[in-house]
């Protein structure tokens, strides 16, 4: 039981640290606007959008 709680706390702390680093550190990184970045963004977001569309369709059916 103790190892499970320890693992969950480690994951929680690492996740929070990564979220804070992304939120406050990312705006300071140079990120030029070019077509390659748009393609990468589409590749990252497309699976989530497809899954959301599938789930909305399944919910609408039943």
Structure confidence at residue 34 (pLDDT) = 86
Which of the residues in the chain have pLDDT under 70? 1
Q: What pLDDT does 29 receive?
A: 84
- Give Cα separations from 38 to 14, 21, 28, 31, 35 (angstroms): 28, 22, 19, 11, 5
At 15 the pLDDT is 97
- Residue 26 in tokens: 């990312």
């Amino acid at each position: 039981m103790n190892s499970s709680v320890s693992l969950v706390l480690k994951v929680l702390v690492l996740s929070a640290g990564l979220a804070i680093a992304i939120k406050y550190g990312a705006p300071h990184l140079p990120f030029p606007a070019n077509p390659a970045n748009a393609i990468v963004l589409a590749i990252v977001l497309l699976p989530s959008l497809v899954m959301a569309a599938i789930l909305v369709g399944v919910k609408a059916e039943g």
